Amino acid sequence: MRPYQPSPERPGILAPMDDESLFAHHARFKTDGEAPEGWYREGETFAEGAWVVDLDLFVEITQGAEAWESLRGETIELAVGENEYEIDLPQDVTFDECWTLTGCGLFEPAPGVTEEQLAEAEDFGEDSELGRFGDLHVIPMVGDAPPLEADEDDEDEPAPEADASH
């Protein structure tokens, strides 16, 4: 599904989003959270149900309303491509807005930084001179999908893949 925006040339008609609009929506989203629903789907596809805009990673997870309610206060594991994340859901979490994990998106090394320098760095945060990180934005969707399960500290089971059912 391709996000559309109002066409300035033809009021009442929707037109496909261009790259300039994509980055304008991204800037507005990062500033005040306001952007059309699904705008990030115009970004580069990263994995099923996941898109990249700049270094930010947007992941849609579809669950039934009851399944989402059962996850309040739990930790869920999420696998997106080769990356795995643990997300602690507060008891008062809402499922009608995006959750942002700062610095958990993609990484871009600074110019001139070598693989050796990255490997030698024990731990570097989002303000590192070694490069910059994007954010991970999880978009909860209510719909039909197999339920996610809370993390039961079972190291042997793989994390569920992001599901882009819409």
Per-residue pLDDT of 78-123, as tens digits, reads 888 788 888 888 888 888 888 888 888 888 888 998 888 888 886 6
Which residue ranges make up each domain of the chain? 1-42, 44-153
Nearest to 2 by CA among 21, 29, 28, 30: 21
163/12 Cα distance (integer angstroms): 33
Which residues in the chain come in under a pLDDT of 70? 1-20, 122-127, 145-166
Residue 65: Cβ-neighbour burial (10 angstroms; 0-12, 13-18, 19+): exposed
Architecture, CATH, for domain 44-153: Sandwich (2.60)
123/138 Cα distance (integer angstroms): 24
Global pTM exceeds 0.85: no
What letter represents residue 49's amino acid?
G
DSSP 41-77: GGSEEEETTEEEETTEEEEEEEE-HHHHHHTTT-EEE
Nearest to 44 by CA among 61, 28, 29, 58: 58
CA–centroid distance for 91 within its chain = 21
Grouping H, G, I as helix, E, B as strand and the rest as coil, residue 116 is: helix
pLDDT at position 85 is 86
What letter represents residue 39's amino acid?
W
